[in-house]
Amino acid sequence: MKKNAWSLIAFVLLLSACSSPVTDELVDYHNDYWLEFESMVEEYDASTQEVAQLSETSSGFEEAYDLMEEEIMPQIDEMSVFLEEIELEQEDVQELNQMQIDMVDQLHEGMQVQQEAFQLGAEGQIDEASELGIQSGEYVEEAMEMQEAFDERREALWEEYGVEAEEEEELDDTDL
């Protein structure tokens, strides 16, 4: 899905009065890594929307499978590698990053099951495909719960270490 206007909402984290190694790494993690990870997630979301549209009819199962193979699974792999390559020193921030890695792993499992469902659907095994689709949904639901836990933990750490998010203005293509 292509947007006519390019928009960006960025959050810049600000430090409160005192800084610490954990505070500095929290800010760096958010600004240097997490925002880039979020853009990867947005690309993934756009691809999954396309897959959802293709899979609405049994004639789209093969195309949905191909899109999973060519775009979605590589996107998930890219997210996983990106997160795993982040080098962090502070335990609290390492824990946050590991929460994201675990979420992506869960998502990967769910998408593998969904891909199998599309393959079965393309082969005409609709009942089996439907069953796997339900299983895939359970994996994805768990991944979403894991993301919520990450968000809650991040907010708690921001509060504990006095980090505040400041929303920057939204830009569209007329601002460029």
| 106-119 pLDDT per residue, tens | 999 999 999 999 99
Tell me, what's the pLDDT at 166?
A: 66
Rounded CA-CA distance 66/83 in Å is 26
> Which of the two residues, 170 and 97, has the higher pLDDT score?
97
Give the CA dihedral 66, 69, 74, 77, nearest 10 degrees: 150
Tell me, what's the pLDDT at 103?
A: 97
Q: At what angle do helices 91-122 and 21-28 cross, to 10 degrees?
A: 30
- The DSSP 8-state label assigned to residue 17 in this structure reads S
pLDDT band at 60 (very low <50, low <70, confident <90, very high): confident
Tell me, what's the pLDDT at 54?
A: 84
Mean of the per-residue pLDDT values of the chain: 85
Is pLDDT at 18 greater than 70 in this prediction?
Answer: no
Q: What is the pLDDT of residues 100-158, one digit of tens each?
A: 999 999 999 999 999 999 999 999 999 999 999 999 999 999 999 999 999 999 999 99
Is pLDDT at 89 greater than 90 in this prediction?
Answer: yes
Is pLDDT at 12 greater than 70 in this prediction?
Answer: no
Distance of CA 152 to the CA centre of its chain: 16
Tell me, what's the pLDDT at 16?
A: 42
- Whether residue 93 contacts residue 25, with contact meaning beta carbons closer than 8 Å, is answered with yes
Rounded CA-CA distance 73/1 in Å is 18
Taking CB atoms within 8 Å and a gap of at least 24, the contacts of 17-23 are 17/162, 18/162, 20/161, 21/89, 21/90, 22/90, 22/92, 22/93, 22/157, 22/161, 23/161, 23/162, 23/163
Report the DSSP beta bridge partners of residue 14: 164
Strands 11-15 and 163-167: antiparallel
- The DSSP 8-state label assigned to residue 168 in this structure reads P
For the chain, what percent of residues have pLDDT higher than 70? 82
Is pLDDT at 2 greater than 70 in this prediction?
Answer: no
Element (H, E) at 166: strand 163-167
> Which of the two residues, 7 and 98, has the higher pLDDT score?
98
Is pLDDT at 34 greater than 80 in this prediction?
Answer: yes
Among candidates 153, 19, 164, 175, which has minimal Cα distance to 91? 153
